[in-house]
Structure 1
């Protein structure tokens, strides 16, 4: 009987995450938690048992998203074209980054706190993306002077612009395409002013 409860609790947990992801994509991080519970087919008490605060739910969603992006990057390491694999992953990263409009400072603090689970998930995802970048650089498709931190900052900027320009279909793809032209291996190295 206890095993059935654990499986049921896990199903509720996964269902809550899936519905919350949709609700936050539609309404931002201030989406109604009562509505999330209702749409997931559970009571508000069940939601709060799994996620005692809105921040806990957001952290679980972000951690789950980071884990999925890490797994995706690891899978793309075997793709035939390192350049295409990197662009595929960057598109998915940018699209996922637009989901959580209005993150509370408490979640951002957890993301920066080195001992937090959320920080660890983000770090693992970024490291997997770094391996995709290194593979593309080793193949000669991407300039060698580009760092993973710089590339991720570019994608974060693209995601932010896309979020601010709601309704412009294809903007992420267009901006990533222009950016990819800039980080192509046949470009001269970037020098920073002193």
Structure 2
């Protein structure tokens, strides 16, 4: 019987995740957990057992995109101009965050307790992947020491969340990101 339960639990998890991916793509981070449960053919308690928080569900939905961004950072490390390489990767993070509804929320931090069960695995993965790019840019004097990948991800999350209802959210998010990178003061 325990093996059957584990197989059932795995099937439920996979079914819930597939339904959640579609729901988040359609409705964003505010997709109804109750509707996800109904569509997956399970109870709300089963959804909450598999994904104890909305963030856990969003992180699971975003896992493939986070892996792709992490792989891209590793591929870019050590190539070309360190500033341009870092900005190219961060631009891809902006694009993914705008186009993958719910990803910005999955990357944002909340006031969850600081224990591993509530850690933000999406941001942690991107921070780890982006660290070599940032380290190279700081070493080359292209980025101010003391800036962290977490700072840059937080900046992107804020921009993406602020532009999500703009008529052209991707263009506006990239514009604001370029503005943040360039600064608002003219060069003297």
Q: Normalised by the shorter chain, which TM-score bucket? A: 0.5 to 0.7
TM-score (ref. length: structure 2)? 0.62
d(CA) in 2 for partners of 1:60, 1:145: 35
Q: CA deviation at 1:89?
A: 2.8
d(CA) in 2 for partners of 1:124, 1:10: 24
- 1:108 pairs with 2:105: no
Aligned pairs for 1:74-89 (under 5 A) are 74-89=74-89
Aligned pairs for 1:136-155 (under 5 A) are 136-140=137-141, 142-145=142-145, 147-148=147-148, 149-155=150-156
TM-score (ref. length: structure 1)? 0.61
d(CA) in 1 for partners of 2:115, 2:81: 34
- 1:32 pairs with 2:29: no
Which residue is equivalent to 1:59?
56
Which residue is equivalent to 1:21?
21
Which residue is equivalent to 2:120?
119
2:13–2:50 CA contact under 8 A, matched in 1? no
C-alpha RMSD over aligned residues: 4.0
Q: CA deviation at 1:161?
A: 2.0
Three-state SS of the structure 1 residue aligned to 2:163 is helix
Aligned pairs for 1:125-136 (under 5 A) are 125-136=126-137
Q: Do the aligned partners of residues 102 and 128 (structure 1) sit closer, same or farther apart at CA in structure 2, a change above 3 Å counting? A: closer
